[in-house]
A and B are shown apart, each in its own frame.
Chain A
Amino acid sequence: MPAKAAFYDVDGTLVKTNVVHVYAYYAMNRGSLLGTVGRTLATAASVPLFAAMDALDRKTFNEFFYRYYAGLSEDRLVSIAEDMFEDVLQPALYSESKDLIDQARRVGCRIVLVTGALDFTMRPLARYLGADELIANKMQFVGGVATGKVIPPIIEGANKANAIRSYCVREGLSLDQCHGYSDSSSDYAMLSVVGRPTAVNPDLRLRNIARAYNWPILDLK
């Protein structure tokens, strides 16, 4: 078993898109004209609110944002995920992401995606990238219908770091030898917990942190 892993945030790190793009795809493929129009308009109208909440606090944003999934059926969410991957995520994948992951795999790292996105939306991407593990948020379903609530703990901020630590303990990996990649200062905890953190296309705050702590900075294209 490899003694180390490489943990990758997804949105903004490996792909250009974020959770809102993914949800927007679902909103635009609602299955009925009325549903599509209603959800799309509601999503579009909420974009400024999403941006403000995300800037304020990623956890609050996630809790608020995932309520929009309420009422959508599990079957539909899972079955559309493959199309969503082909139409949204795959074209948005940075072309250098695969090289970065391939290099980590060559040197014996397990590949783990750690994302605040919902697990069913990320599975096709994880499969495409050959990830060994996906750590993502899980939507609560009751009677096959999404409640809009995420099963705690919500994977974001400090919880990403906890999830990574738990994963390493469970798999017998050395955190010191593990690599972490993220684009956002909200993932500061995740990057701090691994021995080899790297900022990827970082926001201003993370860029400053990376400079201060001498973490490598990658500009993926």
Chain B
Amino acid sequence: MRPLKTLRKLYDEESQVVITEKGSPPRALFYGENFLLEDLPVGTRVIFPRPPMTGVPNVKAAIRWAINHPEDMEPLHALLRPGMRLTCVIDDISVPLPPMVTPDVRQSILEVVLELAADSGVDDIHLVIANALHRRMTESEMRRMVGTKIFDAYYPDRYYNHDAEDPDGIVELERSPCGSHVVAVNRRVAESDLIVYVNVNFVPMNGGHKSMGTGVANYASLRAHHNPKTIRDTESYMEPGRSELYRRNQRIGEAIDKHLKVFHIETSLNNRMFGPGVEFLAKKEEDYTEADRLKLQAMRFALSKMPRAAARTVLNSIPAPYEVTGVFAGATEPTHAKTLEKVWQQYVVPVEGQSDIVIFPIPFISPYSVNSILNPLLVQVMALGYFFNLNRGVPLVKKGGVLILTHPAYDEFDPVQHPSYIEFFNRLLPETRDAVQLEQKYEKEFAENPSYVHLYRKGNAYHGVHPFYMWYWGENGRQHMGKVIVAGGENNHVPALMGWERTDTLTEAIEEARGFMGRSASISMLRIAPTVMVDVK
């Protein structure tokens, strides 16, 4: 008889992987703003997220403990002194997804830090959102993120979005002789005596040197790592040790650490994505109660009868009751190492071997479409950029295999948030899908387009260059896959422009994939959401 500890470990590792049998229930799969209810072929390996880890019982106490016992730095109170310039740099709305229930963990951190700063006689404090080339957060989003009290005290003069295109608002810290390597950051940040970075580590690629190296940088800095070559040289987005992207960010981060004093506060969350009323969505279908099945049917019916925009609004309005599982503070690397350990604990599910065919259900949201539309380029980045890379070791799908994604792939764009995406999709993709060619021929033009720069600076639009980054992000997935099929794609031209195929149903997609890979092809499905990552042995 094996000891209980070993049995528990085996159960923990294997209970998240379910092999579909004859009597297995149909699976509820995200399909944009609705769900599919699909029977999968016998033998299909379904990989479920781990159950949510227990959150820390007292978040503020955990924050206080972390900033009083930081990694490789003095405690925060020892770094504060009267009259100093303090800037708190805060992760933007792209994490976590969906936005968490209030109080957001960033609010909790700021409440502790700002109180400590006030007690230490620091009154020159700015709060800067590290939105990099993401869209500016709206006033109501900013209020929600930090709470009314902090918002009223700091907005708009001392609480604002980073502006990567403000000619007077950026300071270059370093520049290589050829100009290809630039380290430039927000002027207020550069001129501060101390920077406190307030992080939410949603997935392992967040945080660490990426926080400062990307969040408050400008286009010239980001070009050094947001390019097709770096992406192609990156074996794994989620493992800093195997990520050229992270290495390049690290070089920038080290330069920043050389010039500036940055105290990182990183947080890890569990994956309790669904709150009361919809928590059944995180369960295995085998564990559904009758009430859960009824709720799912009711939800599918209601969402199918609504206009898509209304369904989107409804889904976007459901916050996630994430709990904080860890708070770590101090110098960049040791802090991030601790955070990563916690994040892996929550997300990683070990699985045996790769599959020939992998199914990714695509939800309604992505880091770049909060309160907006998951347009075709974002569907692409979710499938080939994020989900494809949710692994440690090797991808879940074999080289040359088939990826099936479930999404309507509608031709809809948000002209407020994604104006340059529209031009990229309609003008550039018909010409080429080659990331290097797109970079060399068009990236600069989009990045410098005065209209896109204006919409980024004054509106709530992603920077003109952002669709290129989305395309580069999917580069490794595109190179790896033999075929991509959109199950349930509602038109032909979007999949065609992407270089994909489409079918009406998931069953047809699986048949087509088997036709491509052989009748005995192995099939896996990553049952997202909540977030799950695989450790392929």
A residues engaging B (CB < 8 A)?
6, 96, 99-100, 102-104, 106-107, 109, 177, 179, 181, 196, 198, 211, 214, 216-219, 221
List of B residues within 8 angstroms of A179 by Cβ = 449-451
Main secondary structure of the interface of A (DSSP, over half): mixed
Residue of A104, A177, A218 ringed by the most chain B CB atoms within 10 A: A218
- Please report which residues of chain B, range 117-166, place their CB below 8 angstroms from some CB of chain A when the two chains form the complex: 165
Q: Mark B265-289, 1 if CB is under 8 A from A, else 0.
A: 0000000000000000000000000
How far, in whole Å, are A107 and B450 apart by their CA atoms in the complex? 8
Taking CB atoms, residues of chain B closer than 8 Å to A214 are 413, 415, 422-423, 426
B459 at the interface (CB under 8 A from A): yes
Assess whether B454 is in contact with A196, with CB atoms less than 8 Å apart.
no
Q: How large is the interface on B (under 10, 10 to 19, 20 to 34, 35 or more residues)?
A: 20 to 34
| A221 cross-chain contacts in B, Cβ below 8 A | 458
0/1 string, B410-424, CB within 8 A of A gives 1: 000101000110110
**What residues on B are CB-neighbors of A198 within 8 Å?**
451
Is the Cβ of A218 less than 8 Å from the Cβ of B455? Answer: yes
6 A-B pairs with CB atoms under 8 Å apart are A99-B454, A100-B450, A103-B450, A107-B450, A214-B422, A216-B455
Q: Is the CB of A219 within 8 A of B415?
A: no
Of all chain B residues, the one with the shortest Cβ separation from A103 is: B450
Query: B167 near A100 (CB under 8 angstroms)?
Result: no
Contact with A along B495-509 (1 / 0, CB 8 A): 000000000000000
- Listed residue (B419, B454, B457) with the most chain A CB atoms within 10 angstroms of its CB: B454
Measured CA separation A107–B422 after assembly (Å): 22
Given A196-B451, A211-B415, A214-B422, are A106 and B458 neighbors across the interface (CB < 8 Å)? Answer: no
Chain A hits for B422, CB < 8 A: 214
Cβ of B452 within 8 Å of any chain A Cβ, yes or no, is yes
* A103-B454 contact in complex given A196-B449, A219-B459, C-beta closer than 8 Å: yes
Contacts of B167 in A (CB 8 A): 102, 106
Chain B residue nearest to A105 (CB atoms) is: B450
Cβ of B172 to closest chain A Cβ, rounded Å: 16
Residue of A nearest to B413 (CB): A214
A216 touches B457 (CB 8 A): no
- On whether A216 and B452 interact (CB within 8 A), knowing A99-B457, A211-B415, the answer reads yes
CB–CB A104/B459 < 8 A: no
* B448 interface residue per 8 A CB criterion: yes
Instruction: Determine the chain B residues whose CB is within 8 A of the CB of A99 once the complex forms.
Output: 454, 457-458
Cβ B415 vs Cβ A218 within 8 A = no
Among candidates A6, A217, A219, residue contacting B450 with C-beta atoms closer than 8 Å: A6
CB–CB A218/B448 < 8 A: no
Give the CA-CA distance A96 to B458 in the complex, in Å: 9
Q: Which residues does chain A contribute within 8 Å of B450, judged by CB atoms? A: 6, 100, 103-104, 107, 109, 179
Q: B449 contacts which chain A residues (CB < 8 A)?
A: 107, 179, 196
Known A6-B450, A107-B450, A179-B450: A216·B458 in contact at CB below 8 Å: no
B453 at the interface (CB under 8 A from A): yes
8 closest A-B pairs by beta carbon, nearest first, are A107-B448, A103-B450, A198-B451, A104-B450, A216-B451, A214-B422, A216-B419, A103-B453
Residues of A within 8 A of B452 (CB): 216
Give the CA-CA distance A179 to B449 in the complex, in Å: 9
- Additional pairs, 11, CB under 8 Å, beyond known A100-B451, A218-B454: A102-B167, A103-B448, A103-B454, A106-B167, A107-B450, A179-B450, A196-B451, A198-B451, A216-B455, A217-B415, A219-B459
Shortest distance from the beta carbon of B427 to any chain A beta carbon, whole Å: 9
Q: How far is the CB of A160 from chain B (nearest CB, A)?
A: 19
Residue of A with least CB distance to B444: A107
Chain B contacts for A219, CB-based, 8 A: 459
Query: B445 contacts which chain A residues (CB < 8 A)?
Result: 177
B210 CB to closest chain A CB (Å) equals 28
Residues of chain B with a CB closer than 8 A to A109's CB: 450
* Docked complex: B487-530 residues within 8 A CB-CB of A: none
Distance between A200 CB and nearest chain B CB, rounded to angstroms: 9
Q: Using a CB-CB cutoff of 8 Å, which residues 158-189 of chain B contact chain A?
A: 165, 167
B422 nearest CB neighbor, chain A only? A214
B439 → chain A, closest Cβ, in Å? 18
Task: Note all chain A residues with C-beta closer than 8 A to B423.
Answer: 214
Q: How far is the CA of A110 from the CA of B183 in the complex (A)?
A: 30
A216 to B458 alpha-carbon distance, docked (Å): 13
- Docked Cα-Cα span, A45 to B462, in Å, equals 47
CB contacts (< 8 Å) of B413 on chain A: these are 214
* A216 CA to B455 CA, complexed, in Å: 9
Residues on A with C-beta less than 8 A from B457 are: 99
Chain A contacts for B448, CB-based, 8 A: 103, 106-107
- The distance from the CB of A78 to the nearest CB of chain B, in whole angstroms, is 32
Binary contact track B444-478/A, C-beta < 8 Å → 1, others 0: 01001111111101110000000000000000000
Give, as a whole number of angstroms, the nearest-CB distance from B382 to chain A. 22
List B420-436 residues whose CB lies under 8 Å from chain A.
Answer: 420, 422-423, 426
A198 to B455, CA, bound (A): 11
- A96 to B456 Cα, complex, angstroms: 13
Q: Determine if B415 and A96 form an interchain contact, defined as CB atoms under 8 angstroms apart.
A: no
A211-B415, A214-B422, A217-B415 as given contacts; A96 in contact with B454, CB under 8 Å:
yes
Cα of A216 to Cα of B165 in the assembled complex, Å:
18
Q: How far is the CA of A100 from the CA of B451 in the complex (A)?
A: 7
For residue A109, which residue of chain B has the nearest CB?
A: B450
CB of B454 within 8 A of CB of A100, answer yes
Annotate B386-413 by CB proximity to A: 1 below 8 A, 0 otherwise: 0000000000000000000000000001
Residues of A within 8 A of B455 (CB): 216, 218
Compute how far the CA of A211 lies from the CA of B451 in the bound complex, rounded to whole angstroms: 15
> CB within 8 Å of A: which of B49-106?
none
Counting chain A CB atoms within 10 Å of each CB, the highest count among B450, B452, B457, B458 belongs to B450
What's the Cα separation between A214 and B423 when bound, in Å? 7
Alpha-carbon distance between A119 and B279 when the two chains are bound, in angstroms? 67
Q: Which residues of chain B are within 8 angstroms of A196 by Cβ–Cβ distance?
A: 449, 451
CA distance A196 to B450 in the complex (A): 10
Give min CB distance, B423 to chain A, whole Å.
Answer: 6
Alpha-carbon distance A218/B451, docked complex (angstroms): 7
Q: Which chain B residues border A100 with CB–CB below 8 Å?
A: 450-451, 454
For the complex, give the distance between the alpha carbons of A179 and B165 in Å. 19
Residues of A within 8 A of B426 (CB): 214
**Per-residue A-contact encoding for B205-222, CB less than 8 Å = 1, 0 else:** 000000000000000000
Bound CA–CA A200/B238 (angstroms): 42
Shortest Cβ distance from A107 into B: residue: B448
Q: Which residue of A lies closest to B166 (CB)?
A: A99
Q: Which residue of A lies closest to B427 (CB)?
A: A214
Contact residues in B for A216 (Cβ distance below 8 Å)? 415, 419-420, 451-452, 455
How far is B455's CA from A219's CA once the two chains are assembled, in angstroms?
9
Q: How far is the CA of A181 from the CA of B450 in the complex (A)?
A: 11
Alpha-carbon separation in the docked complex, A211 to B412 (Å): 12
